[in-house]
Amino acid sequence: MFFKSIYRLGDKAEDKVRGRLSHFPIVYAFLGGAGIIIFWRGIWHTADYAMEYFFATKYLVAPDITISMLWWDGPLSILIGITILLLSGLFVSSFIGNEIIISGLKGEKKLTEKTEEDVRLDLEESSEMKKEIHDINRRLEKIEKALTKAK
């Protein structure tokens, strides 16, 4: 119940932020890019700190070597980056992508897993849909002409 209320609160905040930012696409893009860079900076610094902590001090001869990085620098950057990306609604889409999410919801295979025959079948289906839409459009035009003549 506690996590559900936090999720709802975050979801409402995301909707408000995305709604406001969508009116300013350049600011939205800048904020999203900054969020991604800050997030990956945190990952990078955390990995550097871990490498320095676990490996550099053990294998160096000098016993008085201190770790030059602050331990909280990387995790704090990760937290700030995640916050920016979650509030702007870009966290999942920037790392996974919309096509993969949609294909997962539809239960489709990834493009790399599809055989040549599957891809041809998909192309034929989309071509048939285009023909049907074109046919429906022609019928609508005929109906509109008939209605304008009847007036």
pLDDT digits (tens, 9 = 90+) for 59-105: 555 555 555 667 788 899 999 999 998 888 888 776 666 666 666 66
Residues 91 and 146 in one domain: no
**Residues 51, 118: one domain?**
no
**Percentage, residues of the chain above pLDDT 90:** 22
Predicted TM-score (pTM) of this structure: 0.56
Mean model confidence pLDDT for the chain: 80
Assess whether 28 and 55 both reside in one domain. Answer: yes
Look at residues 53, 72, 95 and tell me which one is the last residue of a structural domain: 95
Looking at the fold, whether 14 and 87 belong to one and the same domain comes out as yes
Is residue 105 included in any domain, yes or no? no
Residue 125: inside a domain? yes
Q: Is the same domain home to 26 and 80?
A: yes
Distance of alpha carbon 71 from alpha carbon 52, whole angstroms: 11
Same domain membership, residue 123 and residue 75: no
Residue numbers of the domain that contains 39: 2-95
Contact 100, 110 (CB under 8 A): yes
Identify the sign of the CA torsion 63, 66, 68, 69: positive
The whole-number pLDDT of residue 100 equals 62
The count of structural domains within the chain is: 2
